[in-house]
Every structure is written in C-alpha cells, then in structure tokens.
Structure 1
Amino acid sequence: MKTFNPITEQPSLFDHLEDMDTLELLTNINSMDKTVPQAIEVAIPAIKRFVDATYEKMEHGGRLFYIGAGTSGRLGVLDASECPPTFGVDYDMIIGLIAGGDYALRKAVENAEDDTEQAWKDLTQFDIDKNDVVLGIAASGTTPYVIGGLKKARINGLVTGCIVCNLNSPMAEEATYPIELVVGPEFVTGSTRMKSGTAQKLVLNMISTAIMVKLGRVKGNKMVDMQLSNKKLVQRAIRMLMDELHVNEKEASLLLEKHHNVRKVFKHYGKH
C-alpha cells in the first residue's frame, strides 16, 4: 500500500506559540496566510479545467454538488447558500452537503466523516444523474466520506473534481479534475481551518463566481439578478439603475418597484 504523508499534518514552522505576545501571534499568522494566494495561483490551470467542465454541464441543466466534512463541508455549504441571493439562481443549482447533515454545521457529528457510503446516499436523495457534477472538498485529501462519494459518482459517469491541500492524495486519484492547493503546514500544527480553509474558501469563490458569470448572471460587473431581500440590496439596485439608465434616485426606485428586479428593468430599456 502506497504511503501518503500529508503536508497539512507536518509541524508548524513556528514553535512555543504560548510564549508569543499578541502582536507576535498575529504577525506570524499573517505571514503564513500570505502564502495562500501564491498556492492558488499555481493551481489556476487546474481550476480552469474544472470550471469549464462544470459550466458545460450546468449550461445544459446540470447541477453542482459540494461534498465535505468539518470545515471543508461548512465552506461548501456556505458557498452554495450564497449563490441564490447573489445571482438569483434556484437553491438547487449549487448544493452543499456536509457529513453528518445540517446538524454538523454547528456541532461535530462523531464518526460521520468516516462512512465511505454515506455521501453517495446523500447525493441520491437529489436524484443525481450524469448531467450533474460533484466536487469533493477536504484539506487532507483522505476523508472517507468524500472519497467514497467521489468514487461512486465517477463510477456512475458523473464529472468529478476535488479541492485538496496535499499533493497526490487518495482523493485526487478519484477525481477527474483534482485541484491541489499546497499551502504547507499550518500555524497550529494540523489546524486546517486556517490556511487550508482560507485557500478552499477562495477557490470556491472563484469557481462559483466564474460559472455564474459564464452563465450570464452578471452584467458588466453588476449582480443584476440578486435577490432584493434587504434595504442594503435595494439601495444597491437603485444605484445600478441610476448609473446605467442615467435616471435620478426617485425614478430608479419607481422602476424597481414596478419590475422587482434589476435585469427586468434593463431588459425593459433594451439594456441586455
């Protein structure tokens, strides 16, 4: 059996953390965090391959599923939940699943991530098929819940990808489009909620935003399909209309009240 030694479990570059004062702690954490964008830059070609493959499926009605455990699972659920209000898409277009279910978003569920069969069971609750895409998320690249889900998804003909923070992990072997973000050891040894989690969050932002732009959910640089669920977003929509249509605030407000959506106002004025 091939030996796998994850870099995410290697000792921190710093020791005796308890002897550092507050400024030293914050400065040293920040110095390590600076390596994250560099690791992501190296992975951009791999991210591109996954985005293009996923877009091709979603353009024809497919969905994107994130599966993960612990911090990785929570980040997937977070990214998925932010897409409908930001881009006006249905809540079943990008779906985040976490080992242990929604309860695990707040409290750890014992042994949930060790079940190799549960992820596929969770996915089949959504009538998953070959039009869909599954992205596994795990810093270590060894989480049984995610590996099992990716393996079953691949066997059933789905496009699969993963976000891991180690090279040549067992999870990457199960993914058609592996994304490997080698951020190195954590400030607190093994605490992958830190650099690894930050890297995963940034890449999830990149993936979902790029796909939504390609699907036409952004005009120029504006979120024209955002849900107007609070006063801040209503005011943002009014500013969009004022800037694009060269109308005053009152006119923009009346147009928004009439059409309930920035894109619909633009369409009415021929601003496709």
Structure 2
Amino acid sequence: MIKILIVDDQNFTRQALQAILEAESDFEIIGKATSGSEALVQMEQKETDIVIVDLEMPEMDGLTVTKIINQRFPDTRVIILSSHDDKANINAAVEAGARGYLLKSTSTQEIADTIRAVERGYFQLGPGLFEKLLSHLIQEKEAAATNLSQLENKYAQSMVSLEEKIIARNDAQRQELYEEIELQISSLKQDFRDGLENFQYQVSNQLQNGIEAASIKFNNSTPNLQEIDLQIDNRNLEQQRYINTLFAGSKQAIQKLETQLNQMRYFVGIAVLVFIAVIMLLLY
C-alpha cells in the first residue's frame, strides 16, 4: 500500500482528493492537513510514502513545506498540486525537492498514475507541463546560442585587435632596440677615433721631442754626421715599428668589436623572432 498524506488549506480540495484516491485499491490515505505545520506533526506520528502539497497556503507555502520534508523525511516523496503552469513555479518546485508537479485540473487517472510513478522513483510532470517547459528550454537555448555567437564574434574581434596591438608594439620595441644598438655602435666608433687621434698626437710629440733633443746634442758637440744619421734612422725605424705594432693591435680591436656587434645584432634578431613566435602560439 502507498501511504498518502493530503495537505491543502481548502476543505473542498482535501475532500475531493480523498474521494479520488480512496477509490484506488493500492492507496491508503493516512491523514489530511490544513497547513504545513500540521502536516509535519502528522508525519512525525505516521509513516508516509507520498505527500500531496498545495503550492499556495497562507501559513507556510508548499515550497517551504517541500524543503522541510526533504530535510527531515528524506524517504518521503512530495508532489506539488497547483493552479499555475508557468515555468517559474515548476522550476521552484523542482529546486525545493518536489518529485512531481500536477495541476488541480488533472484527471483522476493521471493523478493516480503520477503517484505510482513517483513512488517508484520517477520524476513526473502533469499533462502538457513537460511540453511547455521544453518550449521554454528551447527558447532559452536559442537565446543562449545567439548570445554565445555574439560573444564569439566579440572575442574574435578582441583577439584581432590584441594581435594588431602586440605586433605594433613588437615592431616599435624592435625598432627602438635597433636604434639603441646603432647609437651604442656610433658612440664606440667615436670613442675609438678620439683615442686614435690622441695616440697619434702623443706619438708625434715624442718624435718631435726626440728630434729636438738630437738637434741640441748635435749643436753642443762635434758631431759625427754619419753616426748621427744612423742613430736617427734607427730611432725612426724603432718608432715606425712601434707605430705599426700599435696600429695592428688597433685594427684587430676594431675587427673584434665589429664581430661582437654583428653577433649582438644576430642574437637580438633571433630573440625578437622567438618572442613573436611565442606570442602567436599563445594566441592560436
């Protein structure tokens, strides 16, 4: 036997449901309650399988009663009885824990079939309610699809804009880096030229000082012209060798500096290309 409790504040509804359900051989009406609080008291005293609850009651509405029953009597299943067939009330009943939702205009046989289905563990909606709920779901799905399409378009536009900004920013940063490298190269070249000119000036001064010293020594003594010429030639040869050695070292330093600068340009270019490739991979 399926033990049923009827909860409705309208006496006519209670009496009508009792007469309908008592005609079924596998149903037993264990009680009737005029309010949610009265129904909870009766459930404490009697084992109950199914509770049929009116959605609108003054003291405690059907949704509140349903939530309390699910918390305190988890083995008891609730069927909401209502005059409203809108999506909001159906969803609210489902969220409250109801296992069935029937309209008060539902036929006797459909009420009995719903009770048996809910007792077996199924969720049951009254005739026409599933189609109406499904229609709402389809409309919501179409609206969601439209919103999703709009979001996808906005996302695509945002990604294109972001990609353009990243490329422009990378180009600007790369140009700025190249300009900084060129400036450093120009500065190094200028420093080298200044150092070379200073070196040439010092060498010229040393040569001039040597010539003046030789001239003074020649004037203050009886010179051996051949020996003096030989000394001057030897000194000039030594100075020339010294200058050649310094110029050779300077040339090697310049070549080494240019090689390092070319390597720096190459590695900077590689780093920029790798950075752009990583950005593109992250975007796609």
TM-score by length of 2: 0.31
Structure of greater relative contact order (alpha carbons < 8 Å, 6+ residues apart):
1
Structure showing greater radius of gyration is: 2
TM-score by length of 1: 0.32
Name whichever structure is richer in helix by fraction.
2
